[in-house]
């Protein structure tokens, strides 16, 4: 069990909504793009999964760990689903809203569900940065989660 000092989730002692026995086990979750089983790339072709360091082109720009949301169905989860944060160009504010159902994007500061919400992000190379949501995700082709695009400048 790893609990962040910033974590005020009630689900350490109260089951996650809709369950009777699922509790929060950690404050942190990992980037599903780095998974052999949960990566959107692996769903198409397992050999495309960035499930080892040699497949991450820019380790210093690719998010590995983040602070999971404290309530809702993802309060007991161990990973996010980044591919679900994008709708289309006509809804540029949607990613911050959708991501906030999985990630505590404002755990450090800012308004929840906004692009300016700030949280701590741990990167594949081991460093941690406090960043606003817009600094880690603007869309499927500009984000720090998908290892195929994470090295591109923002």
17 in a structural domain: no
pLDDT, residue 46, reads: 83
Q: Are 45 and 105 in contact (CB under 8 A)?
A: no
Quote the number of domains for the chain. Answer: 1
pTM given for the model: 0.92
Q: Is residue 71 part of a domain?
A: yes
Residue 94 belongs to some domain of the structure? yes
The list of the chain residues with pLDDT below 70 reads: 154
Supply the range of the domain harboring residue 38.
28-143
Radius of gyration of the chain (CA): 15
pLDDT at 154: 67
How far is residue 47's CA from residue 19's CA, in Å, rounded to a whole number?
35
Cβ neighbours of 115 (radius 10 Å)? 18
């Amino acid at each position: 069990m790893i609990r962040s000092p910033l974590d005020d989730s009630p689900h350490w002692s109260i089951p996650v909504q809709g369950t009777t026995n699922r509790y929060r086990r950690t404050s942190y979750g990992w980037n599903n793009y780095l998974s052999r089983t949960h990566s959107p790339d692996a769903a198409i072709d397992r050999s495309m999964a960035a499930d080892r360091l040699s497949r991450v082109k820019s380790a210093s720009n690719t998010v590995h760990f983040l602070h999971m949301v404290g309530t809702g169905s993802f309060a007991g989860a161990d990973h996010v689903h980044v591919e679900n944060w994008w709708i289309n160009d006509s809804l540029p504010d949607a990613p911050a809203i959708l991501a906030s159902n999985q990630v505590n994007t404002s755990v450090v500061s800012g308004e929840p569900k906004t692009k300016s919400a700030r949280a701590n992000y741990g990167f594949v190379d081991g460093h941690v940065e406090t960043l606003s949501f817009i600094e880690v995700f603007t869309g499927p082709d500009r984000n720090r989660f998908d290892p195929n695009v994470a090295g591109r400048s923002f």
